[in-house]
Amino acid sequence: MKKGIVYLAGGGCGDPGLLTVRAKEKLENCDTVVYDALVNPEFLDYVPEEAERIYVGKRAKSHALPQPDINKLLVKLGSEGRNVVRLKGGDPYVFGRGGEEGEALYDAGVAFEVIPGITSVIGGLAYAGIPITHRDCVASFQVVTGHRQDDAEDLDWPVLAASKGTIVFLMGMKNLGRITQNLMANGMDPEKPAAVVYRASDPRQRVVTGTLRTIEAIATEAKMTAPSLIVVGDVVTKREKLRFFDNKPFFGKHFVVTRSRAQASSTMAKIRELGGSALMYPTIKIELVASEVDKLKTAIDHIGDYTHIIFTSVNGVNIFYDVLRQTGRDSRALGGLYVTAIGKQTAKALEERGVMADFVPKNYIGEALIETLRPILTEKDAILLPRSENARPVVAEALSEICRLDEIKIYRTVREDAADFDMKGLLEARQVDVITFTSSTTVKYFVEKLGAENLDLLSGVMCASIGPMTSQMMRESGIPVSVEAEVYTIDGLLSAIEKNL
């Protein structure tokens, strides 16, 4: 039996970008992941599909699995020769019970390693605009658990109250009143600045500030709940200058992205970079058309017969190059062709393969392509057009009147039926602010998945279109067009949304 190992890994404090490179590497190669409630669910996407996923999360007094049983589980998995990632929120050793788990593994003779994580004590406060130390006012800090293993055991309040540094309480929201009263009763200035940070570094982050005397009332009025940090110290006054996360343009906005799974992740990453949260609601997926792929192979075998090749999408580029490799060729095969790419992303996909498009129309619609190519084409030319079965016929019809055009419909866009969440339920709960539509097909299949009878739930939701053709389909389908991109790209779409939020 192979020797197992357990990695006690910290997942950071909320923002998926704060996961360490080493933790990501181990997730990508594990047999089993054992994870907590505060772990960002996106991290599970890194785990191999065949790996076992075991949830052992804790919420207040509700434990999916008690800690002693978690220790036994890790020992069992490691003893079976598994490659295990024990994934925790924050850092394994900052009130994460990683030390207890490590000791249990050591006593059982199971190999383990620790992968530190960015604790909310540091990273979470930074996202709230509160530095844990600052040369102007604070030279030290203490980190304190808001509840103890033994409720009868109390904190050393006189020592804490006399502290001149920052004090951060974790897991202490239910005891906020007791914490502030004990600090003041033991001599801490009631006017000492204080803050509560909810879901630090997450798009749902909220921050309230006050003083030791007022923070409980302020947090109660704001309905602040766990998971939250409690911060006491003069560094809280630095927030107005140092806050950056909740000043981002999409902060606090909840987006739904309707692209295919393969394309949604890049859009979602851009939304998060602008401070928003994003859910993937794929409405489309790509299917190869086998008979047309065979035709493309034949066309590639005679690639020298063509003078032009037109790529209309990233999908078209990807599939074309897959077939090109199958025929034993690479980008050199396009050396004698005039290459046209519709859209910056299509051009970028070609560039990544060493091909610079000769022409990229400014407007990413068929009519603009026709008007530009018409003057340079003659009856002696021949065009290869590998594209979607769903594409509008206008380009093929117009260009085929000038010269030979071989349109090969190598893929089709079909409806993606799987969904990771209840879209109707989210809309009913008013938990969606923006829905992005990037093609006519995303609109068509969104309506089919949600149900035309439920479109009234879109009232109050910003429905954003990437361009005129998409907008036309939205209107025909009964979806209001809240905003339309001036530049028909994802960046153009997000820019238009930002201007109208």
Enumerate the active-site residues.
36, 58
Q: Which residues of 422-432 are buried (b: 16+ CB within 10 A; e: fewer)?
A: ebeebbeeeeb
User: In terms of Cα–Cα distance, which of 182, 170, 178, 159 is closest to 216?
Assistant: 178
d(CA 143, CA 465): 47
DSSP secondary structure of 222-286: TT--SSEEEEESGGGGGHHHH--GGGSTTTT-EEEE-S-HHHHHHHHHHHHHTT-EEEE---EEE
The token pair that represents 8 in the structure block:
């006690």
E-state strands within 31-136: 32-35, 52-55, 58-59, 62-63, 83-88, 111-115
Rg (CA), the chain: 28
Checking DSSP bridges between strand 32-35 and strand 52-55, what pairing results, if any? parallel
Residue 408: burial class (beta carbons within 10 Å; 0-12, 13-18, 19+): buried
d(CA 375, CA 163): 79
